[in-house]
Amino acid sequence: MKKIINDPHQVVPEMVNGMVRSYPQIIEKIPNTEAVVRADKDSMKGKVGIVSGGGSGHEPTHAGYVGKGMLSAAVCGQVFTSPTPDQIYEAIKAVNQGNGVYLVVKNYSGDVMNFDMAKDLAAMDDIEVKSIVVDDDIAVENSLYTQGRRGVAGTIFMHKILGAAAQEGASLDEIDKLAHEVLPNIKTIAVALSAATNPEVGKPGFVLKDDEIEFGVGIHSEPGYRREKIKPSKELVDELIDKLDDEMHLSSDKKYACLVNGMGATPLMEQYIFANDVYNKLENFNIKPVFTKVGNYMTSIDMAGISLTLFEIKDDKWLEALNEPVETIGW
Amino acid sequence: MKKIINDPHQVVPEMVNGMVRSYPQIIEKIPNTEAVVRADKDSMKGKVGIVSGGGSGHEPTHAGYVGKGMLSAAVCGQVFTSPTPDQIYEAIKAVNQGNGVYLVVKNYSGDVMNFDMAKDLAAMDDIEVKSIVVDDDIAVENSLYTQGRRGVAGTIFMHKILGAAAQEGASLDEIDKLAHEVLPNIKTIAVALSAATNPEVGKPGFVLKDDEIEFGVGIHSEPGYRREKIKPSKELVDELIDKLDDEMHLSSDKKYACLVNGMGATPLMEQYIFANDVYNKLENFNIKPVFTKVGNYMTSIDMAGISLTLFEIKDDKWLEALNEPVETIGW
């Protein structure tokens, strides 16, 4: 393992310190936690708080999406490890304005359990909390750390849509309704060229041959559904979009947002080439996405690979929400 | 070589297509070139045009900095290869509003020559063009492709400062004066864990051992000044800041902007840990940077490594310029 770190067991506190010290105008640490909250407290006044989080290693997720118009706070667990309920609860308290707090949880058993326990802690203090569990990864039905489907890059669309609604003053019930309307329309699938190396583990989660890729890998090196020799970008895109089409029934009558997401070690050069192939392939369906983003949004430390998310925009307000300006590090 | 591409000889056109199709609201292609220009033409009206460019492989540089408040156009050469004079000249013509055009060139012999030739072409058409050559890399005095010092990540500070000035209506002479005032105050130095693989070459520019790093590497895998075993982040930071101090004479009486730049394959986790060490080390000088950025801004395809740029802010207007909002993909 060759990494620019100090102590493998201190990567999260040092990383979170680096993040808040780099962008003090946007985020600050919640004392005695590895959670961050909006520095601009005024923007939270009278609004529902939106809290997300999970294991670290997916930067800029989640702390990079804290800021006006998006998340109110994010809880940074150890690398690939759920944050503890007490830390989540500190974040809930830090953003609570008396109007309730909404939790966006990626579907991993540890996260679901710990966010639920934090919700119970909040209930004892009469803070109303609701939540959504994002399970956008269509690759496999159950996985190493998940019952059902995994939550991956599409989660940031959820963050953005709910963050915009909260900023506009939506109530907790309205946000919960919106989250459940949006959820089934976000679908993601990935391909990996190499696995991530968790600094505390010291070696990659799996090893692919020099000419091998794996379809459907998760963001913690969970297995996908097939290994084979690498193919040209456009053939990768063919397979991934066909899989998404099976789920979503792509149609030129519908509107889509599209996220091409680098896994951490994949250069933008490859991401843009892949994106170009995505737009070509979508043209076969007479689809031109109405919103697109390309970059490292939901990474897996130093994994090489790309995920593709399509989000069917069923309501033009969702598109407006995606286009609302925000003040965050990562969006 | 395992990369998500199609034809190694088509990476630049496919990448540029991917970029403009992803962000059509910000940039568009200049017909018959691999250069991009602001989609928002109105924001250029009556202003000096700012054009930059160079070899591809440094994404989001340069096209990612085209947009209101920053560059007017960027010319994308082949990978690690200077764009041709005719392509640069097309960009000059595309942004020319009759008030002159300013070129920001990184100090590589090919770039300097070709941008100069484009300037001559423009002169024949009575377009007034001036330019600056950025040479911020303090690692070595001459290099593989450079007389003098190389131009690297600090170039994006130049883009930002000049872009803000142009947007405010500064004249060509004022921009030229500003560029020359700013230039000597931007200094960069890097450390690499692995070299970039140019898709057309198919193998990395150099090979380091599993526990080895190289100080002072350039953004085209040019040699640095020392190879040795990897050290903790804070020891890397010690050496890099001491080198910058030798050049800049760091002082708590001065103000600094700070850019921690990932080289393409370095996760944000490592970049934030490194940044945290940078702020700690600067505290020894009683310095707290007044402006900070951390991320992949000037990459070298899939190189793993980090560069550190310090920019001494001698005029508070420069800080205002850094903080001006822009509409770009990459800033």
Q: What is the pLDDT along chain A (331 residues), one digit of tens a residue?
A: 999 999 999 999 999 999 999 999 999 999 999 999 999 999 999 999 999 999 999 999 999 999 999 999 999 999 999 999 999 999 999 999 999 999 999 999 999 999 999 999 999 999 999 999 999 999 999 888 888 999 999 999 999 999 999 999 999 999 999 999 999 999 999 999 999 999 999 999 999 999 999 999 999 999 899 999 999 999 999 999 999 999 999 999 999 999 999 999 999 999 999 999 999 999 999 999 999 999 999 999 999 999 999 999 999 999 999 999 999 999 9
Does one domain contain both A101 and A127? yes
- Asked if A16 and B260 come within 8 Å (Cβ–Cβ), the reply is no
Q: Which of B22, B277, B302 sits opposite A294 (nearest CB)?
A: B22
Residues B66 and B80: their CA atoms lie apart, in Å, by 20
The whole-number average pLDDT for the span B75-94 is: 98
Q: Which of B194, B211, B272 sits opposite A22 (nearest CB)?
A: B272
Does one domain contain both B86 and B98? yes
The whole-number average pLDDT for the span B170-178 is: 98
Q: Is the pLDDT of residue B276 over 90?
A: yes
pLDDT tens profile B248-273: 999 999 999 999 999 999 999 999 99
- Say if CB A51 and CB A95 are below 8 A apart: yes
- Say if CB B82 and CB B104 are below 8 A apart: no
Q: Distance from B55 to chain A by nearest Cα, in Å?
A: 12
Structure tokens at A294: 């390309």
- Say if CB B68 and CB B167 are below 8 A apart: yes
Does any domain span residue B123? yes
Residue of A208, A233, A272, A303 to mutate for B, most B C-beta atoms under 10 A: A272
Residues B92 and B101: their CA atoms lie apart, in Å, by 7
- Say if CB A262 and CB A296 are below 8 A apart: yes
Residues A276 and A187: their CA atoms lie apart, in Å, by 19
Q: Is the pLDDT of residue B228 over 90?
A: yes
Residues B187 and B185: their CA atoms lie apart, in Å, by 6
Does any domain span residue B329? no
Q: Is A137 left (phi over 0), alpha (psi -120 to 50) or beta?
A: beta
The whole-number average pLDDT for the span B39-48 is: 95
Q: Determine the residue of chain B that is closest to A11 in CA distance.
A: B273
Does one domain contain both A195 and A231? yes
What integer pLDDT is reported at residue B210 of this predicted model? 94
The DSSP-derived string for A139-157 is: S-SSBTTBSSSPP-TTHHH
- Asked if A6 and B59 come within 8 Å (Cβ–Cβ), the reply is no
What integer pLDDT is reported at residue B214 of this predicted model? 97
Burial of B155 (0-12, 13-18, 19+ CB in 10 A): buried
Global pTM reads 0.98
Does one domain contain both B279 and B304? yes
Does any domain span residue B81? yes
Does one domain contain both B31 and B121? yes
A191 CB neighbours in chain B (<8 A) are 4
Residues B150 and B111: their CA atoms lie apart, in Å, by 11
- Asked if B210 and A269 come within 8 Å (Cβ–Cβ), the reply is no
* CATH number, position B22: 3.40.50.10440
B260 CB neighbours in chain A (<8 A) are 22
A2 CB neighbours in chain B (<8 A) are 193-194, 210-213, 230, 304
Q: Are strands B73-79 and B35-38 parallel, antiparallel or unpaired?
A: antiparallel
Does one domain contain both A227 and A297? yes
Does any domain span residue A330? no
In single-letter form, the type of residue at position A3 comes to: K
B76 CB neighbours in chain A (<8 A) are none
* CATH number, position A218: 3.30.1180.20
Q: Is A301 left (phi over 0), alpha (psi -120 to 50) or beta?
A: left
Structure tokens at B153: 């990540």
- Asked if B272 and A16 come within 8 Å (Cβ–Cβ), the reply is yes
- Asked if A304 and B11 come within 8 Å (Cβ–Cβ), the reply is no
- Asked if B302 and A265 come within 8 Å (Cβ–Cβ), the reply is yes
The kind and range of the H/E element at A253 are none
- Say if CB A3 and CB B270 are below 8 A apart: yes
The whole-number average pLDDT for the span B186-205 is: 97
The DSSP-derived string for A73-107 is: EEEEEEETSPPPHHHHHHHHHHH--SS-EEEEEES
How far apart are the two ends of chain B, measured CA to CA in Å? 30
Q: How confident is the model at residue B191 (pLDDT cuts 50, 70, 90)?
A: very high
Instruction: State phi, psi for A274 to the nearest 5 degrees.
Output: -60, -45
HSE-CB at A38 with a 13 A cutoff on CA atoms is: 28
Closest C-alpha among A56, A50, A66 to residue A15: A56
- Asked if A22 and B302 come within 8 Å (Cβ–Cβ), the reply is no
**Cβ neighbours for A317, distance < 8 A, ≥ 6 positions apart:** none
Does one domain contain both A66 and A136? yes
What integer pLDDT is reported at residue B16 of this predicted model? 98
Does any domain span residue B5? no
Q: Determine the residue of chain A that is closest to B197 in CA distance.
A: A267
The single residue of B58, B159, B180, B249 carrying the catalytic annotation is: B58
What integer pLDDT is reported at residue A145 of this predicted model? 86
| Domain boundary, last residue among A136, A165, A184 | A184
| Domain boundary, last residue among B158, B184, B210 | B184
Catalytic site includes residue B58 = yes
Residues A191 and A307: their CA atoms lie apart, in Å, by 6
A59 CB neighbours in chain B (<8 A) are 267-269, 272
Catalytic site includes residue B159 = no
How far, in whole angstroms, is CA B157 from its chain's centroid?
8
What integer pLDDT is reported at residue B29 of this predicted model? 98
Q: Which of B211, B212, B272 sits opposite A18 (nearest CB)?
A: B272
Does one domain contain both A36 and A170? yes
| Domain boundary, last residue among B152, B184, B216 | B184
Closest C-alpha among A163, A132, A104, A129 to residue A318: A163
A296 CB neighbours in chain B (<8 A) are 268, 296
Q: Is the pLDDT of residue B130 over 90?
A: yes
Positions of E strands within A112-265: 129-134, 186-194, 212-215, 226-229, 255-262
User: ipTM above 0.95?
Assistant: yes
Does one domain contain both A162 and A274? no
Q: Determine the residue of chain A that is closest to B57 in CA distance.
A: A269
Residues A147 and A137: their CA atoms lie apart, in Å, by 12
Q: Are strands A73-79 and A101-106 parallel, antiparallel or unpaired?
A: unpaired
Q: Determine the residue of chain B that is closest to A18 in CA distance.
A: B276
HEC profile for chain B?
Answer: CCCCCCCHHHHHHHHHHHHHHHCCCCEEECCCCCEEEECCHHHHCCCCEEEEEEEECCCCCCHHHECECCECEEEEEEECCCCCHHHHHHHHHHHCCCCCEEEEEECCHHHHHHHHHHHHHHHHCCCCEEEEEECCECCCCCECCECCCCCCCCHHHHHHHHHHHHHCCCCHHHHHHHHHHHHHHEEEEEEEEECCECCCCCCECCCCCCCEEEECCCCCCCCCCEEEECCCHHHHHHHHHHHHHHHHCCCCCCCEEEEEEECECCCHHHHHHHHHHHHHHHHHCCCCCCEEEEECCCCCCCEEEEEEEEEECCCHHHHHHHHCCCECCCC
- Asked if B15 and A60 come within 8 Å (Cβ–Cβ), the reply is no
**Residues facing residue B54 across a β-bridge:** B76
- Asked if B273 and A11 come within 8 Å (Cβ–Cβ), the reply is yes
Does any domain span residue B60? yes
Question: Distances from the Cα of B62 to the Cαs of A90, B107, B177, B203, in angstroms?
Answer: 42, 14, 22, 24
Instruction: State phi, psi for B231 to the nearest 5 degrees.
Output: -120, 170
Does one domain contain both A30 and A101? yes
User: A with B: how many residue pairs have Cβ under 8 Å apart?
Assistant: 187
Residue of B269, B290, B296 to mutate for A, most A C-beta atoms under 10 A: B269
Does any domain span residue B113? yes
Structure tokens at A119: 């919700």
Does any domain span residue B74? yes
Q: Distance from A19 to chain B by nearest Cα, in Å?
A: 6
A60 CB neighbours in chain B (<8 A) are 268
Q: Is the pLDDT of residue B294 over 90?
A: yes
Q: Is the pLDDT of residue B142 over 90?
A: no
Q: How many domains does chain A have?
A: 2
Q: Which of B18, B267, B274 sits opposite A273 (nearest CB)?
A: B18
Q: Which of B199, B270, B294 sits opposite A3 (nearest CB)?
A: B270
Does one domain contain both B94 and B157? yes
Does one domain contain both A61 and A199? no
B212 CB neighbours in chain A (<8 A) are 2
- Asked if A269 and B56 come within 8 Å (Cβ–Cβ), the reply is yes
- Asked if A18 and B264 come within 8 Å (Cβ–Cβ), the reply is no
Range of the domain at B317: 185-322
Structure tokens at B117: 């030739």
Q: Is the pLDDT of residue B144 over 90?
A: no
- Asked if A294 and B193 come within 8 Å (Cβ–Cβ), the reply is no
Q: Determine the residue of chain B that is closest to A13 in CA distance.
A: B273
What integer pLDDT is reported at residue B160 of this predicted model? 98
- Asked if B272 and A236 come within 8 Å (Cβ–Cβ), the reply is no
Question: Distances from the Cα of A290 to the Cαs of A69, A155, A258, B38, in angstroms?
Answer: 20, 18, 8, 19
What integer pLDDT is reported at residue B36 of this predicted model? 98
Q: Is the peptide bond before B62 cis (omega within 30 degrees of 0)?
A: yes
